[in-house]
Amino acid sequence: MNYLPVFLDIKNKPCLVIGGGQIASRKISLLVRAQAEITVIAPEITPEIHDQAHDGAVTWRQKRFSADDLKDYQLVMAATDNRKVNAEIAAQCKQRNIWVNAADDVHSCNFILPSIIDRSPVQIAVSTGGASPVLARTLRAKLENCTPAAYGRLAKLIEDNRLRVKEKFSSTEQKRKFWEKIIQGPVAELVFSGQMDAAQKLLQEAIEHEDHRDLPQGEVYLVGAGPGDPDLLTFRALRLMQQADVVVYDRLVSREIMDLIRKDAELIYAGKERAQHALPQESINQLLVRLAKEGKRVLRLKGGDPFVFGRGGEEISTLIDEAIPFQVVPGITAAAGCAAYAGIPLTHRQHSQAVIFATGHLSDGTVNLNWEMLAHENQTLVFYMGLQGLEVICTNLKKHGLAPATPAALIMQGTTAQQKVIMGNLDNLPALVDEHDVKPPTLVIVGDVVQLHDTLRWFNPEEDVTASAVRFFGART
């Protein structure tokens, strides 16, 4: 080990920064966060440092550095833009046994600064001992991704309750086990999802009722898995997928996403094929309740977003009735995902000032959509589950005033390597379904923005059929 990692308490301690440019500015920001008492010595400073001096966060001495300046400091940052000057300052500091960091010059320093992940009071510092700052930053980014932003709040909650836990348990082993359970269980999840009062209450209950047995405490995560591309998962979705004990999933969740679930998690298929539900909704609600009551961490994984045609509301209302802790994690809904990957902006200053998400799922053959509201120019319509009723949709939009040549697209398996975009208009769209063997999941987008696909398309795993459709039916007049 070439360096000893330490965390210095420099709160209200005099620290000196020499230099007033961008490099110095970065060091100053760091020292400000650590609440040091900062003096800056430089003939000139950036506007940002000016502001900090104005606010009283730093004291600026407008002068050139001289060795005498060092006498009141134990920690110095040599941060001028001149490497030689920094090295000289560092040499003088070392002679006086002052801790000094010289910017970008590890050999002149007697301490170096790590890359930091700050979830105060939790901090993670990464260093390669100066070998490769880029490598350190890359590693930092990876850790950043898997460290929930609310870790600081969790640490604070633990700190606030530490004494009470200490009083409750006599052995260190019991305390350790207790905190492990808290950190990996619903209390932590409540903190991560921003429910601090509920977290405190649950922790309090856990402290009061903990009688050395491991009481099971289940919870449910209602998670949106996005439209298919695993890269579109949220950090939180991925983290919960990796800690769930059991996963209740839909048909729409892609194989690649399923592969990211913790390997030993139990998988339960909840189906949801149109008109052929593998499990009726009521049974799914009850299943979630039962699994959570068994003490399991239950992940309810849904395609897209759970609150967009996902029946998420119904599922959590049962959980509320049964007082089961839960959280809802949004996902990228099919409209957003498919539109982005098809190069069809859902709104556009010239073409569309509003966007409507509608369901095209027709129960018992009737359509109860508000056609008056839908059939307007300058807006975009997105139909989920619109394949079966496509004929009815197109006919009604035309009947209520939209031009037959209004551009419309079918996006099949959007965002995946199998994505197919089929371009047409309100007249020909139903025929294109058979012609191109279009199958669910497919999204229907109607409106002038659709034509932008021709110029804005960028993701194209399979040749799409824009050309033939336009050639056959002609451009819109």
Q: Applying CB under 6 A, which residues contact ligand SAH?
A: 227-228, 252, 302-305, 308-310, 333-334, 338, 384-385, 411, 413-415, 440-443
d(CA 34, CA 55): 16
Burial class (CB in 10 A: 0-12, 13-18, 19+), 44: exposed
Shortest reach from residue 356's CB to ligand SAH, in Å: 14
Residue (21 or 343) nearer to ligand SAH, CB:
343
**Cα distance between residue 300 and residue 5, in whole Å:** 42
Q: What's the min distance (Å) between Cβ of 352 and ligand SAH?
A: 20
Minimum CB separation from ligand SAH for residue 262, in Å?
Answer: 23
Instruction: Give residues with Cβ within 8 angstroms of 149, minimum separation 6.
Output: 119
Closest contact distance (angstroms) between CB of 403 and ligand SAH is: 24
The Cβ of residue 345 has, within 10 Å, a number of other Cβ atoms equal to: 17
Contact 135, 109 (CB under 8 A): no
- 396-405 in b/e burial notation, b at 16+ Cβ within 10 A? bbbeeebeeb
Distance CA 473, CA 162 (A): 72
For the chain, helix, strand, coil in percent to 5 are 40, 20, 40
Three-state SS letters, 48-107: HHHHHHHCCCEEEECCCCCHHHHHHCCEEEECCCCHHHHHHHHHHHHHCCCEEEECCCCC
Q: Which two tokens stand for residue 202?
A: 């649950």
Tell me which H or E stretch contains 119.
strand 115-119
Residue nearest to ligand SAH (CB): 304
Q: Which is nearer to ligand SAH, 192 or 384 (CB)?
A: 384
CB of 363 to ligand SAH, least distance (A): 14
The Cα 227–Cα 137 span in angstroms is 31
In 119-140, which positions are buried (b, 16+ CB within 10 angstroms) versus exposed (e)?
Answer: beeeebebbbebeebeebeebb
Q: Smallest distance from the beta carbon of 336 to ligand SAH, in angstroms?
A: 8
Q: Within 13 Å of residue 239, how many CA atoms lie on the same side as its CB?
A: 17
Q: Shortest approach of ligand SAH to residue 302 CB, angstroms? A: 6
Least separation in angstroms between residue 311's CB and ligand SAH is 9
Q: State the Cα–Cα distance between residues 260 and 271, nearest whole angstrom.
A: 19
406-418: buried (b, 16+ CB within 10 Å) or exposed (e) per residue?
A: bbbbbbbbbbbee
Residue (151 or 309) nearer to ligand SAH, CB: 309
Classify burial at 304, counting beta carbons within 10 Å of its beta carbon; exposed 0-12, middle 13-18, buried 19 or more.
buried
- Tokens read off for 152: 């600081």
Strand partners, 382: 357, 445
Catalytic positions, please? 250, 272
